[in-house]
Structure 1
């Protein structure tokens, strides 16, 4: 049976046999890559294609009528060849291409289809320079569409953090009390050292737990940006990356503060150059050092844009602070005191504002990363 279809680029009518369905080739007229469509199972096979004589469905297509014989397409460039299409001839070559899974238009070089989530390539990303307006616009649309889940996942993360931190300190406190009693009888100096060790251990365990929650939160946001409909359970998905996250965070923090000490500007450069490393740990499961290497690649040409995004977001975040200061001054009583009820209402209002702003800020960073990597 024959398959007849049109090239999606130049509309040339092409024919081939049905055993080539799903194969990729170049159009003989325009040279663009095309995918031979699958046969529609809803069309009765005993009647042939609509608009064709019965003889068309019962006879094979002569080679001279098929685009397989037309020049300049060589056999090795058509779908008759078993080898895959070269990257320069595939959907990775153009500025806009059709996803081979769902057919939607997506940017060339995309690692993943933003419509159906299909993984398109596993090689290196081609960095893309982003625009401030595009990042804020996409963030706002996602924020409006997913406001409930965004606030919900942040509340869950905060509650888990409080409960986890309390549990860690209570457990270490019980152990520490027993150790102090035991060491106090031996040597007061050992007792002091034991307390310091337990305190450091507590901070380290909390750092591990916070890293675990942050990774789960970022994984949730990444899936949300890709339209993959993540569940709240993603908050517990950061386990495989915790060790690398802690080591990378220590290196990143030391490099950032060293840059800040050197007249601040180097610190900002370090921050905006390497900020995507947690996303890369999750998204590509990279070793720690490779996450920094890839961060440099994808932020190349985007550091100034990220700085502008940071300034705008800082200005937005400072608005509630300004409101608080002005409101507190207006609520001062003649004696110089502030009304307790008014202060309580104001603090609740401020908490609500930040509850809305923090998810937006986190989503903004995720969208920035996604825009840089064609996701």
Structure 2
């Protein structure tokens, strides 16, 4: 039995010796990998080296606590990059990048990931749109039944119909809002997994249960700030969007409270406003491009825009906090 690690996602893979030298698709990330041969990877397969899986159990990611394999330089769970202490290989410290991050690198990385995972992302977007529109279709059908059940000319029926329509509209609004928030939280989970090149499925779209109430509060506050900023001018609203761009990924990735997500978002984006502003403008342009072909293009452009934010969040996680930079200077 040949055992080796996927060079893309660090998943431990096993296959029969007769597959040595052949290409195979990693079940974890979907990337093509070449099965190593004994002559080049002799220390990674065979029964005598089973302990390789266990001898790293005391080495944990400094961010999320995930076990780290001896050859890893990035956590396979949270995506954090780290470096080992030369005097003590079991001691890990985060690798830090300078600010601001290069927007071109984020865009190219997002496009690269999107080109490999777009079928999943497009299917998730379509399913989300269908589910969000489902309550409206059901209630519109009920409205038609209610209206046909009453004789319009009979006195008093008009008031009953109006009351039912108003109550149904309120119910529709609440159902749509709750469902949209729930699916949006799941969408953040899905896109964060894809950005980290972790195993992801369309079922992740329904993983927003633990976050939906906090997502609702965050979304309400952020949209309120964007609207207030837009009253002054269009540019301030773009800046507010840039500052709070990663709040959803902070919520599902770090499991923080609503207000902590907003303060954490400001902390992460501090020093990156210029790069994030470019991403926001590019995202708006992508939305318009997607709407050109009767909104059909949104199936492709919206997931790409979401990946811009997810990859940018991952890049900002690896940066030195501005407070540390200021103290050092």
Task: Give TM-score, length-normalised by structure 1.
Answer: 0.55
CA distance in structure 2 between the partners assigned to 1:208 and 1:175 by the alignment: 25
| Local SS of the residue matching 1:103 | coil
Q: CA deviation at 1:300?
A: 0.8
Query: Among 158, 166, 177, which residue is 1:196 paired with?
Result: 166
CA RMSD between the two structures: 4.1
The change in CA–CA distance for 1:274 and 1:314 in structure 2 (over 3 A counts) is closer
8 A contact 1:168–1:205 mirrored in 2: no
Q: CA deviation at 1:352?
A: 4.8
Q: CA deviation at 1:176?
A: 9.4
CA distance in structure 2 between the partners assigned to 1:216 and 1:174 by the alignment: 34
The change in CA–CA distance for 1:153 and 1:316 in structure 2 (over 3 A counts) is closer
Larger radius of gyration: 1
8 A contact 1:128–1:373 mirrored in 2: no
Residue matched to 2:301: 357
Q: Is residue 42 from structure 1 mapped to residue 48 from structure 2 by the alignment? A: yes
The change in CA–CA distance for 1:300 and 1:271 in structure 2 (over 3 A counts) is same
CA distance in structure 1 between the partners assigned to 2:296 and 2:70 by the alignment: 40
Query: Among 89, 101, 109, which residue is 2:69 paired with?
Result: 101
Q: CA deviation at 1:263?
A: 2.6
Per-residue CA shift, 1:108-131, capped at 9, x if unaligned?
Answer: xx983469xxxx99x9x9996321
The change in CA–CA distance for 1:165 and 1:236 in structure 2 (over 3 A counts) is farther
Per-residue CA shift, 1:279-330, capped at 9, x if unaligned?
Answer: 2221122111111111111111112211112223434554566xx6xxxxxx
Deviates more, 1:276-285 or 1:216-225: 276-285
| Local SS of the residue matching 1:130 | coil
Per-residue CA shift, 1:118-155, capped at 9, x if unaligned?
Answer: xx99x9x9996321111011101101121221222222
| Local SS of the residue matching 2:71 | coil
The change in CA–CA distance for 1:131 and 1:173 in structure 2 (over 3 A counts) is farther
Residue matched to 1:290: 260
Residue matched to 1:306: 276
8 A contact 2:139–2:168 mirrored in 1: no
| Local SS of the residue matching 1:293 | helix
Q: Is residue 278 from structure 1 mapped to residue 248 from structure 2 by the alignment? A: yes
Q: Is residue 372 from structure 1 mapped to residue 312 from structure 2 by the alignment? A: no
Per-residue CA shift, 1:148-184, capped at 9, x if unaligned?
Answer: 21222222222222324323554577689999x9xx8
Residue matched to 2:28: none
| Local SS of the residue matching 1:42 | helix
Per-residue CA shift, 1:259-279, capped at 9, x if unaligned?
Answer: 111233332222221222222
| Local SS of the residue matching 2:48 | coil
CA distance in structure 1 between the partners assigned to 2:289 and 2:203 by the alignment: 33
Residue matched to 2:202: 232
CA distance in structure 2 between the partners assigned to 1:245 and 1:145 by the alignment: 28
Deviates more, 1:299-308 or 1:277-286: 277-286
Q: How many residues align?
A: 250
CA distance in structure 2 between the partners assigned to 1:357 and 1:187 by the alignment: 45
Deviates more, 1:311-320 or 1:242-251: 311-320
5 Å matches for 1:1-375? 42=48, 100-106=68-74, 112-113=78-79, 129-170=100-141, 185=156, 188=159, 195-319=165-289, 347=293, 351-374=295-318
- Higher relative contact order, structure no. (Cα contacts within 8 Å, ≥ 6 residues apart): 2
Runs (5+) with no aligned partner, structure 1: 1-39, 44-83, 93-98, 325-346
Runs (5+) with no aligned partner, structure 2: 1-45, 50-57, 82-90, 320-329
